[in-house]
Amino acid sequence: MRTYFLKSMWEMTALPFEERLRRIKAAGYDGFELNVQDGVPDNLPELLDKYRLVWAAQMIHNTVDEFQKMLQPIVPMKPLRIVLHGGRDHFSNQEGAAFLTRCLMIEREIGIPIAHETHRYRLFYSPFVTRDYLRMFPEIKLNADLSHWCVVTESLLEENDDVVELATDRAVHIHARVGFQEGPQVSDPRAPEFAEPVRRHESWWDMIRGKANARGDQDLTVVPEYGPAPYLPALPYTQQPVADVWDICKWQMERLRKMWNL
């Protein structure tokens, strides 16, 4: 199984697109994840060939109609994954089930895995809601961003091993960001005070990779997705970020490569 490390373009949107690719390639990533609402260049296939990179398309939509409309021009550009930041946390079970039913139909049509993101505000905001949907839909795949569940449950999921087990069974994409009981992103995962959250998250990511390999998956995509300020804590008044996001993401990639002997 091939493990691809993708750089999130979250904090890079001010740069010209090709400059982003040059930096991503030079830093040792295999590709990138792009929120398509930020714009996708028409010559993306040529750029992917030029820099020998792969990509995942992140899409943020409340409704399936929005998702399907914006998906059409993306499919020919052959992303490894569609990462769907989809639905809403206030959906009823019936509304959520209808949303997922249509998403599965689209996934079968396009032949590209759709990884539903475990994210606050969205359909899979809670481990318990997610558990119910995963039991209802055995084909649903996840983008495991379990940092959000730490905030929702105000824990490191110590009492939720059953839900974590189910979620790691379904994950095909990882947002490798360390959260903690009070936030979806620690200020700096390299700091010793965050050793326990780092250990917990890395144990989940290791489970995901092991299960994907055991299933015989062709690939796993991993994004060290630490966000810039204000997602990253900043000092009051000056709004100076307390750490460098680019350095943290690169550190997280290199740490996982070492952990997995890649």
pLDDT tens string 75-119: 999 999 999 999 999 999 999 999 999 999 999 999 999 999 999
How much is the pLDDT for 131?
A: 97
pLDDT in tens, 188-204: 999 999 999 999 999 99
Start-to-end CA span in the chain (Å): 11
Distance CA 95, CA 189 (A): 37
Q: Is the dihedral of CA 48, 211, 257, 118 positive or negative?
A: positive
Distance CA 31, CA 52 (A): 8
- Residue whose tokens read 């390299």: 190
User: Which of 233-237's residues contact partners 24+ apart within 8 Å by CB, and which partners?
Assistant: 233/183, 233/185, 233/187
pLDDT in tens, 111-143: 999 999 999 999 999 999 999 999 999 999 999
Distance CA 186, CA 147 (A): 9
pLDDT in tens, 32-59: 999 999 999 999 999 999 999 999 999 9
How much is the pLDDT for 103?
A: 97
Distance CA 32, CA 58 (A): 10
Domains of the chain: 2-259 (3.20.20.150)
User: In the chain, what's the furthest Cα-to-Cα distance?
Assistant: 51
Helix (H, G, I), strand (E, B) or coil at 173: strand
Of the pLDDT bands very low, low, confident and very high (cuts 50, 70, 90), residue 252 is: very high
